[in-house]
Amino acid sequence: MRVVLIGPRGSGKTTIGALLAEAMGYRFCDTDAMVEAAEGMSIPAIFAERGESAFRTAETAAIRSLPPDGVVAATGGGAVLSGGNVQALRAGSLTVFLDADAAVLAARTYRSTRPPLTGLSHTEEVIAVRNARLPLYRGAADFCIDTGALSHAEAVSRIQAFVKERESGAACRALVAFLQQTRMDRNEWEMTGERLCRVEGMPLHGLFAVIGSPCLHSRSPELFTALFAACGVDGVYTRIDWPDLGAIMAAVRAAGVKGLSVTIPFKSDVMQYCDEITADACAIGAVNTMVRCGDGWTGANTDWTGIRQPLAGTPPGDAVVFGAGGAARAAVYALQDLGMAVTVLNRSPDRARSIARSFGCEYGAHDAYNPERTDVIVNATPVGMEGRGGSLLAAGDLRAHHTVFDLVYTPPETLLLRNARAVGCRCIRGTEMFVYQAQEQMRLFTGIGADADMIREILG
Ligand code: NAP
């Protein structure tokens, strides 16, 4: 096994790494020192003479040459910027994120000879770089420690205790006991139990779950199980279908669960369990992804990314969103981020007005729809779903210049999309939202980016 330390400059990776290696009887490797030895020059000289990209290439080579076993490795602050680096670092390793408050990091690195990464002042750079990389560190880490609050010896003993806990697997057994009382059928929890509580302890990279009521039919367990296998993540992803959110959160905390996908009806209620919520999730008013780092949960929203990504590159214009629920809020946020002027049209105009107030956009009832003043249409209602059928817009309501994104994904080709195709519109299926929200969730859960095509292939 390897222990890999990640984190910003000044978080103590080299000092704590050397002490940890000594305590565990492991060898210590520092990828920055490996780069300097391989290139025959200091890191400031590599940056000055060959540029940052040459340094990153050398860093990736150093990471790939780390021994697979019996090593504690300290990495450079930017190692996590590449999903490929994270995948290589995590293979067969426990990854520990060493963090500290930005003021502590700035004080520790004030006299550093490391090259600056931005044109900002030292303190501003420390804050900006740490904030930008936090989601990557948190995703890539199996365990997180605040070294600002601990002595080096305490940090070492915390990491050793974590390694032992992961080897014991006791926390997994507690989660299986909880799963037995949920709606999971006996076969499934027995299989999950076997995967969770292996004889040699807990999976190296921990436990993940989708939580909801109901969520028995969620495709996330199938998707993430395949993605973890393809990306070398030794994690188990299960489902927790149970109506009592408080009981779920107590169980996942006790079991040390690393990441949660959150679905109906918990997307706003889980916010009370988050220690930090991203600005996007706050603006949308919903959290669909939770990542635990140390004792704290960070709440994020990847639904809006799932809507924004397939529309990226669409010229700014007039967009209409049908619906005024959670999916519509994510759609309005994504469309505004793309520079669109948005109008929300809903069956009950009162709900449309409430969204319009939050986001400062136009609103109305369905009959306010004007095809000539529309460029992009997003259907965020269930109309068109399997079993219900129908479409809010007929072919006569559509124009060839429209982009039509139907968030309904069962069936993949809805009546609305069939109508839009007949007229010559650009069409985007609801499955694309699922693909891109899952891609972002994978990055937040593991620090590893999964290819969209791989996700499409897994989903079939
Ligand atoms: P929600 O909070 O229940 O909101 C549903 C909205 O649709 C409400 O504004 C509702 O209007 C409207 N609506 C319902 N039935 C209607 C009908 N027969 N005619 C006209 N409007 C109707 O649901 P949500 O979470 O926002 O999800 C909406 C849809 O988005 C889901 O059904 C799903 O198909 C899709 N979705 C897709 C993904 C994906 O990954 N592709 C993810 C999430 C959601 P009222 O306000 O008048 O009740």
Catalytic site residue 267? yes
Residues of the chain with CATH 3.40.50.300: 2-166
Residues of the chain with pLDDT under 50: none
Ligand 1, atom 7, lies closest to the CA of 381
Our answer on whether the CB atom of 285 is closer than 6 Å to any ligand 1 atom is no
Residues of the chain with CATH 3.40.50.10860: 169-301
If phi over 0 gives left and psi between -120 and 50 gives alpha, with beta otherwise, what is residue 257? Answer: beta
Which pLDDT score, from 0 to 100, does residue 167 have?
83
Question: By C-alpha distance, which of 445, 449, 451, 455 is closest to 81?
Answer: 449
| 266 Cβ below 6 A of ligand 1 | no
Nearest CA to 420 out of 442, 441, 399, 445 is that of: 399
What are 33-73's pLDDT values in tens digits?
Answer: 999 999 999 999 999 999 999 999 999 999 999 999 999 99
pLDDT of 413:
95
User: What is residue 30's three-state secondary structure?
Assistant: strand
pLDDT at 175: 82
Ligand 1, atom 18, residue with closest C-alpha: 383
- pLDDT at position 200: 61
State in Å: Cα 323 to ligand 1 middle.
Answer: 6
pLDDT attached to residue 197? 65
Query: Which amino acid is residue 74, in one-letter code?
Result: A
Q: What's the rounded Cα separation, in Å, for the pair 3 and 29?
A: 10
CA of 355 to the centre of ligand 1 (A): 14
Closest among 118, 32, 29, 115 to 76, alpha carbons compared: 32
Choose the CATH number for 310-434 among 2.30.30.20, 3.40.50.720, 3.30.70.920, 1.10.357.10: 3.40.50.720
DSSP state of 424: T
Q: Where are the domain boundaries for CATH 3.40.50.720 in the chain?
A: 310-434
Spacing, Cα 325 to ligand 1 middle (Å):
6
Strands 403-406 and 426-428: parallel
Supply the pTM of this predicted model.
0.93
| DSSP-assigned letter for residue 392 | S
Look at residue 389 in the predicted model and tell me its pLDDT. Answer: 79
What Cα–Cα distance (Å) separates residue 169 from each residue in 172, 192, 197, 198? 5, 14, 6, 7
pLDDT (0 to 100) of residue 198: 60
Is residue 270 within a helix (H) or strand (E), and if so which, with residue range?
none
Q: In this predicted structure, what is the pLDDT of residue 46?
A: 96
Cis peptide before 68 (omega within 30 of 0): no
> How far, in Å, CA of 448 to CA of 446, rounded?
5
Superfamily of domain 169-301 in the CATH hierarchy: Leucine Dehydrogenase, chain A, domain 1 (3.40.50.10860)
DSSP 11: S
Domain 2-166 sits in CATH at 3.40.50.300
- Judge contact between 289 and 237, C-beta under 8 A: no
Query: pLDDT at position 196, please?
Result: 67
